[in-house]
Structure 1
Amino acid sequence: MDLLPDPWKQEYWLPPGVTWEDMGQLQDSERPRPQDLLVALPLALGFVALRCVFERFCAPPIGRCLGVKNRLQIAAVASPKLESFYAKQSRQPSQSEIVTLMSQCGRTQKQIQTWFRRRRNQDRPSHAKKFAEAAWRFIFYITAFLAGLACLVDRPWFWDQKECWSHYPLQPMERAHYWYYMLELGFYCSLLLRISVDVKRKDFKEQVIHHFATIFLLAFSYCANYIRVGTLVMLLHDSSDIVLESAKMLNYGTGWRKTCDRMFVVFASVFLVTRLVVFPSRIIHTTLVLSMEVFEPFAGYYFFNILLTVLQALHIFWAGLILRMAYKFLSLGKLDKDERSDEESEGEDEEEEKDKGGEETEGEENSWEKSKNALNSKLSMLTKSCVLNDFTHRRASVADR
Structure 2
Amino acid sequence: MGVKEKYRRIAPPQPTLEKIYTTQHRCPKESDLLALSKQCDMSVQEVTIWFRQRRNQDRPSITQKFCEASWRFAFYLLAFVAGLCVLLDKPWFWDQKECWKGYPQQVFLPSQYWYYMIELAFYWSLLFRVSLDVKRKDFKEQIVHHIATIFLIGFSYCANYIRVGTLVMLVHDASDYIMECAKMLNYAEWRKSCDTLFVVFAVVFLITRLIIFPNVVIYTTFYHSMEIFQPFFGYYFFNVLLMVLQLLHIFWAYLILRMVAKFVFVGKIDKDERSDDEESDRTEEEEDGRMESKSASSTSHIGVLNKMTNGMKSKSNERNKLPKVR
Aligned partner (choices 155, 163, 166) of residue 231 of structure 1 = 166
Corresponding position: 1:326 with 2:260: yes
Report the secondary structure of 1:70's partner residue: coil
Displacement after TM superposition at 1:358 (Å): 2.4
Letter in 2 for 1:247: A
Q: Would you say 1:301 and 2:209 are equivalent positions? A: no
- SS of 1:358's partner is helix
Distance 2:285 2:161 in 1: 56
Output the CA distance in 2 between the equivalents of 1:318 and 1:219. Answer: 24
Over the aligned positions, Cα root-mean-square deviation in angstroms equals 2.0
5 Å-filtered alignment, 1:63-82, equals 66-82=1-17
Hey, what's the Cα distance between the residues in 1 that align with 2:236 and 2:291? Answer: 67
Note the C-alpha offset of 1:367.
Answer: 6.8
Letter in 1 for 2:288: E
Q: Secondary structure at the match of 2:168?
A: helix
Greater RCO structure (CA 8 Å; 6+ sep): 1
Aligned counterparts of 2:162 and 2:75: Cα–Cα separation in 1: 21
CA–CA distance in structure 1, aligned partners of residues 294 and 242 of structure 2: 63
Deviation of residue 361 (structure 1)?
A: 8.1
Taking the aligned partners of 1:337 and 1:171, their CA distance within structure 2 comes to 46
Superposition deviation, residue 193 in structure 1 = 1.7
Q: In the comparison of the two structures, how many residue pairs are matched?
A: 302
1:219 is matched by which residue type in structure 2?
G
Contact 1:76 1:118 in 2 (8 A): yes
Residue 183 in 1 paired to residue 118 in 2? Answer: yes
Normalising by structure 1, what TM-score? 0.72
The aligned amino acid for 2:87 is L
Which of 273, 278, 287 matches 2:207? Answer: 273
Give the equivalent residue in structure 2 for 1:122: 57
Q: Identity over aligned residues, as a percent? A: 58
Residues of 2 paired with 1:293 and 1:75: CA distance?
Answer: 65
Q: Cα offset for 1:87?
A: 1.1
Structure 1 counterpart of 2:195, one-letter code: D
Q: Give the counterpart of 1:205 among 122, 129, 140.
A: 140
AA aligned opposite 1:308: L
State how far apart, in whole Å, the 2-side matches of 1:88 and 1:267 are.
41
1:214 aligns with 2:140: no
Higher mean Cα deviation, 327-336 or 272-281? 327-336
In 1, Cα distance between equivalents of 2:171 and 2:285: 44
1:247 is aligned to 2:175: no
Residue 358 (1) aligns with residue 286 (2)? yes
Deviation at 1:180, TM superposition (A): 0.3
1:336 counterpart = 2:270:
yes
* Distance change >3 Å, CA 326–CA 233, structure 1 → 2: same
1:130-185 per-residue CA deviation (whole Å, 9 max, x = no partner) reads 11111111111111111110111011111111110111111101000000000000
Alignment match of 1:311 (pick from 231, 238, 245) = 245
Paired with 2:270 and 2:9, the residues of 1 have a C-alpha distance of 25
How many angstroms apart in 2 are the aligned matches of 1:359 and 1:250?
32
Distance in 2 (CA, whole Å) between partners of 1:231 and 1:368 is 68
CA distance in 2, matches of 1:67, 1:131: 11
Per-residue displacement from partner, 1:256-290 (whole Å, max 9, x unpaired)? 10100001100100000000000000000000001
Aligned equivalent of 2:48:
113
Q: 1:111, 1:362 within 8 Å by CA — same for their partners in 2?
A: no
364-373 vs 110-119, which deviates more?
Answer: 364-373
Residues 67/130 of structure 1: CA separation in 2 closer, same or farther (3 Å cut): same
Aligned counterparts of 1:75 and 1:362: Cα–Cα separation in 2? 20
Matched residues in 2 for 1:135 and 1:323: separation?
24
Q: Take 2:48 and 2:129, find their aligned partners in 1: how far apart are those partners?
A: 33
Partner of 1:159: 94
1:359 Cα deviation from its structure 2 partner:
6.7
Matched, 1:287 2:205: no
Cα distance in 1, alignment partners of residues 11 and 141 from structure 2: 33
Provide closer, same or farther for how the CA distance between residues 157 and 212 of structure 1 changes in structure 2, counting only shifts above 3 A: same
Asked if the contact 1:247–1:263 (Cα under 8 Å) also holds between the matched residues in 2, the reply is: yes
- Deviation of 1:84 (Å): 0.9
**Dislocated runs of 4+, deviation >2 Å:** 353-373
Deviation string 1:306-348 (CA, Å, 9 cap, x unpaired) is: 0100000000010111111111111101112211x3x11xxx3
Q: Deviations over 1:5-53 (max 9, x none)?
A: xxxxxxxxxxxxxxxxxxxxxxxxxxxxxxxxxxxxxxxxxxxxxxxxx
Amino acid at match of 2:8: Q
**Unpaired segments of 5 or more residues in structure 2?**
305-326
Q: How does 1:349-388 map to 2 (within 5 A)?
A: 349=278, 351-352=279-280, 354-355=282-283, 357-358=285-286, 360=288, 364=292, 368-369=296-297
2:49–2:284: 8 Å Cα contact kept in structure 1?
no
The residue identity in structure 2 corresponding to 1:306 is V
Q: Summarize the Cα distance change of 1:356–1:109 in structure 2 as closer, same or farther, 3 Å threshold.
A: closer
> 2:315 matched to which residue of 1?
none
TM-score (norm 2): 0.88
